[in-house]
């Protein structure tokens, strides 16, 4: 399992939603406002508010499977070499709690949080709590209830922020509508005060070419986009990104590309679209993440025309693990981090510079 509520903070989400609201309002026509400004306001408030998940605890259920459990870190066991996994037969108990609401908010850190967040997995609008057990006396029900209690505290804090956001959105929408009406009223007054006869402009005036300098973000393009699980940053993602930059490649990497106040989702989407290749660091942690799966899906959509975009890097996994995650990825030629960082960099640079 991976930690919940730790991908992006709620303040960034709130600012992102308000900015997206402003952008959306620019597309609202005067005709729409004249027809029903209340309906326009309601639609925008509904679209840009956030829907905090609510757990349906009464419908929770469990599944069980036999499993091999690594007990190398169990201090109660006599194990000679704890630097290597030591597996024994055990049981995997997976408790699933359905929920309704925005699943992405399980990755958002609320205003109130602890340094020990709850752990879990999000699958198909269910919160999964996984226990690998070798002790028949372990109280799964008690452990589940403790984690659910933690999760509900985090969601309660997010709910407070959601209510604050909705209030701010309501005020923002009303202010933008009022400003638009004021501007139109001023325009009407100016026109009415003219003593000179007014000639109506043609219905379809010829377009006027306007030269504008492209913004910095429009100009940005990258050679490679690095998709990775946050747990793999120190061991491989950051060293690989720095090494590829040292080779002269333009690298989209979250630590390099994101700045204070940036929209996380917009920045990632821009990186996915404007990067020539996607370096995907496949690891056990990568397979568990909802966010990394979305990035991989975004890269895969660019290969529908047969263009090679995804460059897989296997980190601590073998063929069977990758095949279980994605048979199509398992069939691709990949580079392995066990062969050394220099080898990985050499292979990636070779592909990128060949095109």
CA distance 275 to 278: 7
76-88 b/e with 16+ CB inside 10 Å = b?
eeeeeeeeeeeee
CB 94 within 8 A of CB 87: no
- Phi/psi at 314 (5° precision): -90, 125
CB 103 within 8 A of CB 53: yes
**CA nearest 134: which of 195, 61, 77, 202?**
77
Which token pair is 154? 């985090």
**CA nearest 122: which of 144, 147, 99, 92?**
99
**Region class of 5: left (phi > 0), else alpha (psi between -120 and 50), else beta:** left
CB 299 within 8 A of CB 280: yes
**Region class of 327: left (phi > 0), else alpha (psi between -120 and 50), else beta:** alpha
CA distance 232 to 291: 14
Q: How many helices (H) and strands (E) does the chain have?
A: 12, 13
Residues carrying an active site annotation: 295
CA distance 249 to 42: 47
CB 314 within 8 A of CB 322: yes
């Amino acid at each position: 399992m991976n930690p919940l509520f730790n991908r992006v903070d709620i303040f960034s989400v709130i600012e992102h939603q308000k900015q997206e609201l402003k952008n959306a309002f620019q597309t609202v026509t005067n005709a729409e406002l004249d027809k029903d400004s209340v309906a326009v306001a309601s639609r925008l408030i509904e679209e840009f508010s956030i829907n905090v998940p609510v757990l349906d605890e009464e419908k929770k259920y469990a599944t069980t499977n036999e499993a091999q459990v690594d007990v190398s870190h169990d201090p109660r066991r006599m194990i000679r070499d704890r630097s290597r996994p030591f597996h024994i037969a055990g049981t995997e108990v997976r408790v699933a709690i359905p929920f309704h609401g925005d699943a992405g908010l399980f990755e958002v850190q609320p205003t109130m949080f602890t340094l020990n967040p709850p752990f879990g997995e999000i699958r198909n609008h269910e919160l999964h709590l996984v226990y690998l057990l070798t002790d028949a006396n372990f109280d799964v029900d008690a452990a589940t209830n403790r984690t659910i209690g933690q999760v509900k505290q985090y969601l309660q804090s997010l709910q407070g922020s959601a209510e604050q956001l909705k209030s701010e959105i309501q005020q923002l929408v009303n202010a933008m509508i009022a400003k638009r009406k004021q501007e139109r009223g001023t325009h009407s007054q100016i026109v009415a005060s003219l003593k000179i006869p007014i000639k109506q402009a043609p219905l379809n005036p010829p377009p006027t070419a306007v030269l504008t300098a492209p913004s910095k973000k429009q100009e940005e393009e990258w050679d490679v986009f690095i998709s990775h699980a946050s747990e793999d940053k120190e061991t491989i993602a950051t060293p690989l990104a720095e090494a590829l930059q040292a080779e002269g490649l333009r690298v989209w990497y979250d630590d390099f590309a994101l700045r204070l106040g940036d929209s996380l989702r917009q920045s990632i989407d821009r990186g996915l679209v404007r990067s020539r290749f996607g370096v995907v660091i496949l690891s056990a942690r990568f397979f568990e993440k909802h966010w990394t799966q979305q990035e991989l899906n975004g890269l895969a959509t660019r290969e529908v025309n047969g263009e090679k975009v995804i460059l897989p890097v296997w980190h601590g996994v073998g063929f069977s693990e990758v095949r279980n995650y994605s048979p199509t990825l398992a069939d691709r030629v990949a580079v392995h981090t066990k062969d050394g960082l220099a080898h990985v960099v050499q292979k990636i640079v070779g592909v990128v510079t060949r095109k």
